[in-house]
Structure 1
Amino acid sequence: MDAIANSPLLSRLSRWFPGLSLVRHYQRAWFRDDMRAALSVTAVALPVAIAYAQLTGVGAVVGLYSCVLPMLVYAVFGSSRQLIVGPDAATCAVLAAVVTPLAAGDAQRHWQLIMTMTFMTGVWCILASRFRIGVLAEFLSKPILMGLLNGVAITIIVGQFSKILGFRYQEPYLLERLLHTPTYLAQTHWLTLAIALLTLMVFLLAKMMRPHWPAAMLAIAVATLVSWGFSLGDNGVAVVGSVSSGLPEFQSPVFELGLVRELVMPALNLTMVSFISMMLTARSFAAKNGYDIDADAEFRALGFANIAAAAAQGFAVSGADSRTAINDASGGKTQLVSVLSALIILAIILFATAPLAFIPSSALGVVLVIASVSLIDIKALWRLRKRDNGAFTLAVITLLAVLFIGVIPGITMAVLLGLFQFLKVVMRPDDQILGVNQKGILRSLGKGDKVKPIAGILIYRFNSPLTYFNAVYFKRRLLARIAQQELIETVIIDAVSCFSHLDLSVMAMIDELHKLLRKKGITLILAGRKRELLAWCEAAGVDVSDGDIIIRPDLTMAVRMLTNYKAAVSQGLAPQVRKQDDPDEVLAHSLL
């Protein structure tokens, strides 16, 4: 057994299937903690999965289908030891917003479109992993994601009031629903509201008296017992209704060209939101437990988990922060927690779905409201105003977009805002003029007098990779800096900070800049990446053979050689530089 566990084949497989590493390193002492954590995760996952199924617009058992196979798949492909995947508030809200108008009231078609979008989301994730573009998902910065989640949470909470109070919304958008609030309050079904209040009371009491118990499951259990005992379903209280047991009967997703076309971009938006949400959770718990995770590997794991969800007749999944936190708090050590929890849920699907029929919809609405409240963090949003006003503005714009134009347009705007934010940083970065301090170390010139400029030399640093869309800005900023200085004889550009790849537009700009500076009697030196710059100049047809553009290995050497040579010339120890001379050779000769 040890020989198999330590075989080179298994070692190679572990790179693609990180969960298999537990086969090689699993310790028996971990099993008790993993089993306890699995029971705790299941206790929370069951009511939440059923509630999210209603939010998505499908049957209760579909929420359970969405747990089992994705959890098993992630346990194999995922690199996080604590992360639990499953139905998530944001992903379900997106699915419902996209699919409901396309289904046009056809429940079967609604379910099939949900599976189609889930499958497409999985494909997007795998493509992103294949091309190693997990970084693209980070266009949704933390402030933007904060605004997005707050907006989605508020939208869900308002949407659940109809289940809690026992009426049905006629308007699809949040603003119109709020405007008609007085009319809806007059339609309150008091018995439905009473069950909702009972559920909330049991939840709060359980949280106060037994914080480690599964409060949501206890609250749902009490509400279900009351519903069953008093036949509330026959008295106007909406209940889940009959839930089929056993494995799902396979039905293929919808692949009509017109409908698929409608789902392409929403599926991409869902991919971005679910992955970023998952990564925030996975990274935080990985850091807490002292290990690293690979973004591209997590993208692949999320993709396979969503394809598995579609194959199991379920809906899209993401990293579940509440269930992950419970897993960690219960002492879960490995991905085996996901496996054990999935098997427990599978047993319930096969043998114990009958009690689910009596669950009141208002009780599930309370669970969804409680879960959504945990996503709202207005205080953190407000703190951004003092720390970073620009980030606060982005978060508020995203929040308002989700609330007033809808979840999908809001997410699209969030992605675009993230992209524009990135482009702004790259296209209009900070720049600096460098000088030397009393110890002779190069530092940025500031408001103090500890760092002094070098007479006749301007050392320029551009804090972004140079590319075709910021080359003109670079040239304009450098010339503006030169115009602010007096008696500049030499300009040294820190090439390490801005030359990252060959761009013909950039090299053409450098050639133009050099010719312009030469007319003003200013020498141009590029410091750093000497081999690459020589190769790039040759590829772009920029002539450096006559020494007009000087390239040096690094910034410190460029400054030292230039100042030493100027000192040598001033003392009559070095000949005047001719164009065909290499300054390195001239300096060496002068020092000898």
Structure 2
Amino acid sequence: MKLLSYSFADDFRHDLLAGISVAAVALPVAIAYAQLAGFDPVVGLYSSILPMVAYAIFGTSRQMIVNPDAAVCAMVAAAVAPLAGGNVELYWSLSVAVTFLAGMFCIAASFLRLGALAEFLSKPILVGLLNGVAISICLGQVGKLFGFSIESKRIIPQLLEIVAKLPQTQIPTLIVGAASLAILFGLARWVPRLPTAPIILIAGGTAVALFGLDRHGVAILGPVPGGLPPLRVPRFPTDDIPSLLGSAAGLALVLFSSGMLTARSFASKGGYEIDADRELAAFGAANLASALSQGFTVTGADSRTAMAVAAGGRTQVTGLVAAATITAVLLFLTGPMRYVPIAVLGALLVFASISLFDTRTLREIWSIDRSEVILAVITTLGVVALGAINGILIAVGLALIRFVKLTARPRDEILGTVDGIPGLHSIARHPNAKTFPGLVLYRFDGPLTFFNSDYFKTRALAAADAAGPELRWFVIDAIPVSQIDTTGLYALRDLRERLEARGTSLMLAGRKAEFLTWFREAGLYRPEHETWILPTLRQALKAYLRAAQPIAPLSQDDL
């Protein structure tokens, strides 16, 4: 983050209010996630201070908040619990150690420039994953609003459990939750500049303190110990290092995948770019900072990032303000926190999750390519039905499948001329396009490599067969062929031999210098290559018309 160029006059007021709002949500959420992972509640706060500072310094996202995450907390617990054997202190130490090692893996990966893996994630998949996270967050808070716990982790069991437990609804809790939601939506609509999160938390805590709502069954956070964590390097038995290394590597992969999806989703909505390799380093620094402050693994936090955006945060100063606010609370205000109702927290997270759900972009994608919407929906359903971690794996898998499909089976076209439109165009998209007897102008929209060379030959020969026995020249537009390997060069040579056997000449148009270099590097260069590689499609068409019998005069538009 470029702190030296920060505009206090334009941005600080927005970042200040957003940072306080983020802290208001992050405080109780961090406590809840610490309990989920099996720690004392205060450990969640330890995990929320220095990581935000580290990410603000090294990260490239303007809006993302790095904080504890439910899915990552569950992974930490699953990795460490068998090694700790019920020893609370060892459990904590191992958790800190695995966080430290995960941070080191992220930093090492950034030096290897492995952040490019994130480029496989397309816009529809990003939108689908964010929508799935929004639904999951919303469903996870229903029990808090109604005053009962939800044990199920999947959408259908969750819905069935919610319906079954409706008779157990705690009416005072429901009133608090519904009132909180009404106030949140009312403030957002009528007074959008107000920091809604701290207002509603303070109002809820005040109501509990004044009217004793906790005595009527309204659940509250309860006591939270104060004080800052000691900074120290984690200690753990050396015998556990092999197990911790494997767990840390997997954890690093998940936290980076999850965090990058969050970062890229919000960057896309915010209209700016992020650097994946620097993000890897930033996630690593954030987890090292968490480990040194006796915290556990952190990643990009969807709900807190959504709160930052909804509250008007503009830069990573929002994260610094949130970290400073949590520090102040740890030092001076842990007492009043005990009165915050759980239902108010649930209402805040429901409110934040609604801002995550993006239907506008889905409609835009639908107007461009309906099959891409299917990718988004599958990703959403994967997150909702199988959980965030499995949803991320599904998203990555879909991205890889999509990449392989686009690269291994690229679009190919037969080109012709269209009256009134200069240049050469696909005859499939222009039914009135004119082709020339004895000539095929063929375009293959992709690199020519080992995984699509057979497909290329099959499609090219099919186009030649369709042209009939009178075919004299088969011209390949080489401009879209951005790369070719040895297998691709052999495929090209085989295609030429097959065509020559039937009396057809194979010609290339474009990238003459590059193709000659590729042939030389592969040891396949022949002097005749100089004559059958022409500079452009236009020159190839002119050369054919000069060599062939007069067919029809070319207009200026044809060329």
With the length of structure 2 as denominator, give the TM-score of the two structures.
Answer: 0.83
Displacement of 1:531 = 2.7
The verdict on how the C-alpha distance between 1:298 and 1:95 changes in structure 2, with shifts beyond 3 A counting, is: closer
Match of 2:164 in 1: 183
2:454 to 461, 467, 472: 472
User: Residue 51 of structure 2 contacts residue 290 of structure 2 at CA under 8 Å; is this kept in 1?
Assistant: yes
Partner of 1:584 in structure 2? none
CA distance in 2, matches of 1:388, 1:507: 33
* C-alpha distance after superposition, 1:325-383 (max 9, x if no partner): 357x47x5x65554455334433333333222222222212211221222234575477
Instruction: Determine the structure 2 residue equivalent to 1:47.
Output: 24
Contact 1:52-1:92 at 8 Å conserved across structures: no
Change in Cα spacing, 1:301 to 1:280, as seen in structure 2 (3 Å) is: same
Partners of 1:442 and 1:368 in 2: CA distance: 55
Q: Is the 8 A contact 1:84 1:323 kept in 2?
A: no
Residue matched to 1:271: 256
Distance 1:179 1:135, change over 3 A: same
Shift of 1:462: 0.7
Contact 1:434–1:453 (8 Å) recurs in 2: yes
Matches within 5 A, 1:145-294: 145-233=126-214, 236-250=217-231, 252=234, 257-258=242-243, 260-262=245-247, 264-265=249-250, 267-287=252-272, 293-294=274-275
Q: What whole-Å deviation, never above 9, does each CA across 1:66-95 have from its counterpart, x for those lacking one? A: 443233333332445x434233xxx72422
Shift of 1:177: 2.9
Matches of 1:140 and 1:78, distance apart in 2: 19
User: Structure 2: how far apart are the matches of 1:246 and 1:488?
Assistant: 84
Q: Residue type of the partner of 1:268?
A: L
For 2:143 and 2:93, how far apart are their aligned partners in 1?
25
Equivalenced residue count is 533
Counterpart position of 2:483: 500
Deviations 1:466-492 (A, max 9, x none): 111111101100001111113211112
Pairing partner for 1:424 from 405, 426, 447: 405
CA–CA separation in structure 1 for the residues paired with 2:9 and 2:528:
74
1:70–1:85 Cα contact (<8 Å) kept: no
Residue 520 in structure 1 maps to residue 469 in structure 2: no
Task: Summarize the Cα distance change of 1:546–1:380 in structure 2 as closer, same or farther, 3 Å threshold.
Answer: closer
Deviations 1:213-260 (A, max 9, x none): 111211111111122234445554432222232321357387654365
Secondary structure at the counterpart of residue 229 of structure 1: helix
Distance 1:379 1:335 in 2: 26
In 2: Cα distance, 1:195 partner to 1:104 partner: 36
Judge conservation of contact 2:464–2:471 (CA < 8 Å) in 1.
Answer: yes
> Greater shift after overlay, 505-514 or 388-397?
388-397
Counterpart AA for 1:431 = D
In 2, Cα distance between equivalents of 1:168 and 1:253: 36
Verify the 8 A CA contact 1:95 1:114 in the aligned structure 2. Answer: no
Q: Is the 8 A contact 1:309 1:317 kept in 2?
A: no
Deviation at 1:416, TM superposition (A): 0.6
Q: Which position in structure 1 is the counterpart of 2:309?
A: 325
- Measured in 1, the distance between the counterparts of 2:142 and 2:241 equals 35
**Contact 1:435–1:444 (Cα < 8 Å) also in 2:** yes
Q: Residue deviations 1:293-317, cap 9 Å, x none?
A: 5443344334433433443325423
Identical columns (%):
35
- 447 and 495 in structure 1: CA distance in 2 versus 1, 3 angstrom threshold: closer
- In structure 1, the residue corresponding to 2:169 is in which secondary structure? coil
List runs of 5+ in structure 2 lacking aligned partners: 551-559
Counterpart of 1:392 (choices 359, 373, 376) is 373
CA distance in 2, matches of 1:307, 1:480: 58
Structure 1 position 560 matched with structure 2 position 542: yes
| Superposition deviation, residue 125 in structure 1 | 4.5
Shift, 1:504, TM fit: 1.5
Report matched runs for 1:506-585 at 5 Å: 506-547=488-529, 550-566=532-548
Counterpart-to-counterpart distance in 1, 2:187 and 2:494 = 73
Once residues 207 and 41 of structure 2 are traced to their aligned partners in structure 1, the CA distance between those partners, rounded to angstroms, is 19
Output the CA distance in 1 between the equivalents of 2:425 and 2:502.
27
Matched residue, 1:491: 474
Partner of 1:94: 71
Q: CA deviation at 1:274?
A: 1.6
CA contact (8 A) 2:256 2:280 kept: no
The alpha-carbon distance between structure 1 residues 467 and 482, as it changes in their structure 2 partners (threshold 3 A), is: same
For 1:112 and 1:231, the matched residues in 2 are separated by 39
The 1:428–1:179 alpha-carbon spacing in structure 2 relative to 1, beyond 3 Å, is same
Structure 2 counterpart SS, 1:238 = coil
- SS of aligned partner of 1:39: helix
1:300 to 268, 281, 287: 281
Paired residues of 2:98 and 2:244 also in contact (CA < 8 A) = no
The answer as to 2:337 corresponding to 1:353 is: no
Q: 1:560 to 1:209 in 2, by over 3 A?
A: closer
Give me the whole-angstrom Cα distance separating, in 1, the residues matched to 2:10 and 2:89.
41
1:83 matched residue in structure 2: 63
Read off the aligned partner of 1:356 and give its amino acid letter.
Answer: M
Question: Residue by residue, what CA displacement relative to the aligned partner does 1:362-411 show, whole Å, maximum 9, x if unpaired?
Answer: 22122112212222345754775565331222222222222333332222
Partners of 1:93 and 1:156 within 8 A in 2 = no
Contact 2:173 2:343 in 1 (8 A): yes
Amino acid of the structure 1 residue aligned with 2:350 = V
Are the counterparts in 2 of residues 220 and 363 from structure 1 also a CA contact under 8 Å?
Answer: yes
Instruction: Tell whether the 8 Å contact from 1:233 to 1:239 is kept in structure 2 after alignment.
Output: yes
Task: Give the corresponding residue for 1:5.
Answer: none
- CA 1:271–1:392 in structure 2 vs 1: closer, same or farther (change >3 Å)? same
Go from structure 1 to structure 2 and tell me whether the alpha carbon gap of 1:364 and 1:133 turns closer, same or farther (over 3 Å shift). Answer: same
CA 1:170/1:211 → structure 2, altered by over 3 Å: closer, same or farther? closer
Q: Deviations over 1:394-442 (max 9, x none)?
A: 2222222223333322221221111101111111111111223457633
Q: Secondary structure at the match of 1:497?
A: coil
Q: Which runs of 5+ in 1 are unaligned?
A: 1-17, 569-592
String of CA shifts for 1:201-223, please: whole Å, max 9, x gaps.
Answer: 44344334432111121111111
After TM superposition, the structure 1 stretch with the greater mean CA deviation from structure 2, 293-302 or 536-545, is 293-302
Report the CA distance between 1:534 and its aligned residue: 1.9
> Residues 183, 276 of structure 1: CA spacing in aligned structure 2 closer, same or farther, 3 A cutoff?
closer
Contact conserved, 1:457 with 1:489, CA < 8 A, in 2?
yes
SS at match of 1:178: helix
Quick one: distance in 1 between partners of 2:161 and 2:297?
31
Contact 1:457 1:492 survives alignment (8 Å)? yes
- Match for 2:8 among 20, 24, 31? 31
CA distance in 1, matches of 2:118, 2:488: 28
1:408 aligns to 2:389 (yes or no): yes
1:77/1:300 contact within 8 Å kept? yes
Other structure's SS at 1:435 match: strand
Q: What is the DSSP-based 3-state SS (H/G/I as helix, E as strand, rest coil) of the residue aligned with 2:356?
A: coil
For 1:388, the aligned partner's letter is D
- Relative to structure 1, the CA distance from residue 173 to residue 425 in structure 2 (aligned partners, 3 Å threshold; closer, same or farther) is same
Q: In 2 relative to 1, CA 315–229 (structure 1 residues): closer, same or farther, beyond 3 Å?
A: farther
Q: Structure 1 406/441 Cα, relative in aligned 2: closer, same or farther at 3 Å? A: closer
Distance in 2 of aligned mates of 1:151 and 1:112 = 33
Q: 1:268 & 1:475 partners in 2: Cα distance?
A: 38
Aligned residue identity for 1:536: W
1:167 and 1:414, CA in 2 relative to 1: closer, same or farther beyond 3 A? same
Q: Which amino acid aligns with 1:276?
A: L
